[in-house]
Amino acid sequence: MANTERYGLIGETLGHSYSKHIHHALCGYDYELMSIPRDKIEAFLSARQFAGLNVTIPYKRTVIPHCDLLTDAAREIGSVNTLMMQSDGRLLGDNTDYAGFLYLARKVGISFKNKKVLILGNGGTSLTARTAIRHEGAREIIVVSRNGAVNYQNVYGQADAEIIVNTTPVGMFPNNGVRLIELTRFPKLGGVLDVIYNPLSTALLLEAKRLGIPCGGGLSMLVAQAKYAAERFGRMPISDRQIGVIEQKLRKELTNLVLVGMPGSGKSTLAAACAESMGREVVEIDDIIVQKAGRSIPEIFAKYGEARFREIESETVAEVGRRTGLVISTGGGAILREQNVAALQQNGLIACLDRPLELLPTDGRPLSKGIDALRAMKKQRTPIYKKSSDFTVENKQGIEQAKERIMEGFYEALSH
């Protein structure tokens, strides 16, 4: 007999799942994250001590023999991500990833009709995407896998692809910052989808954004499939509007606020002020560098030179950029390297602080030892700050005013 109140997510590793938060926001019921080892999954499913479950890697096919009924989508795809006990005691298997994937494509404005589509990966999520894309009338679907007829060595022979969908875990936390292909090799490309939701923007999506190609990440799909599963659990319809509301709430909580700007522009002070107002942790990149090196910044420059300092800085930015929900204060030169910009953008929005040269301090700063040095530095860095930032805030009228403008800019940028 099923436990009529027990809902949750089963998988092998669920440490970074957002599903509990999403389902609580959708319906308010208790929802458990249940990490179940492979040698325990059969016994767990046989006991049927649950009312409804979501299923994730690696059990989306494992659960199928335990189902008494399958929806048409689950049967055709061959993968189940939602289990629901019926009133007559039978277990229904569904695939709400199918509807979630199509919601993501619609949200971004991508149509598969008569298009040539490349799907990276041949696992369970690839099967779901393939079925959905075929139903939407794609002209041609090419599956790319490491050992398939089309693989990552010959994939550029498919340069006429119009849409690319990543269903692999490449680029997912903790292996952030990597991608399987270069989008610049596909001149007809008109859309990119990536089912990964951690980080919020993978390296593949960041490249698509730089190229101005319509694109979308897995957070929309995650929330949408949860909404369709919750409808099964509660046996009542939920407005699609709820998907956007919950996704936006998650983005507000997860997206880092990153402050960049000239040395002495007020990044540390304003980061602390913003963090206090937002109830967030503040992280100082330079403080972590000092802890790692066991020396002050001027001492690191004096002993090892700027090149070594930049190496430590890049390592630190890569580590911090993987985290979410922070206010991050960077060193003035942190965004001189493109890899650092990408690391900060994957989970964050970047605010550039602009402060008049005459207000910038010079004491104890290895690269800004006088007004002439500052002037030359500002001339070199201003184009980089502008190119890398989502918005700019002047800091010349006091901390409180600048803080308010930063937070207004952050939430305004998040709404786009």
List active site positions.
Answer: 60
What angle do the packed helices 203-210 and 338-345 form, to 10 degrees? 110
Separation between Cα atoms, residue 416 and residue 411, nearest integer Å: 9
Contacts of 129 (CB under 8 A, 6+ apart): 101, 119, 165, 167, 195
Question: Are the CB atoms for 284 and 329 separated by under 8 Å?
Answer: yes
Q: Is the dihedral of CA 402, 407, 412, 416 positive or negative?
A: positive
Q: Which two tokens stand for residue 162?
A: 């119009």
CB 276 within 8 Å of CB 268: no
Sort strands 256-261 and 326-329 into parallel, antiparallel or unpaired.
Answer: parallel
**What six digits make up the tokens of 400?**
């409180």
Q: DSSP H helical segments within 176-305, as ranges?
A: 203-210, 218-234, 241-254, 267-278, 285-293, 297-304
How does DSSP assign 44-70, residue by residue?
Answer: HHHHT--SEEEE-TT-TTTTGGG-SEE
Task: Provide CB contacts within 8 A for 253, sequence distance 6+.
Answer: 324, 325
Strand 326-329 with 215-216, pairing:
unpaired
d(CA 22, CA 24): 5
The DSSP 8-state label assigned to residue 129 in this structure reads H
**Displacement of CA 149 from its chain's centroid (Å):** 30
Which amino acid would we find at residue 150? Answer: V
Three-state DSSP at 176 gives coil
Beta bridge partners of 143: 119
Instruction: Say if CB 23 and CB 7 are below 8 A apart.
Output: yes
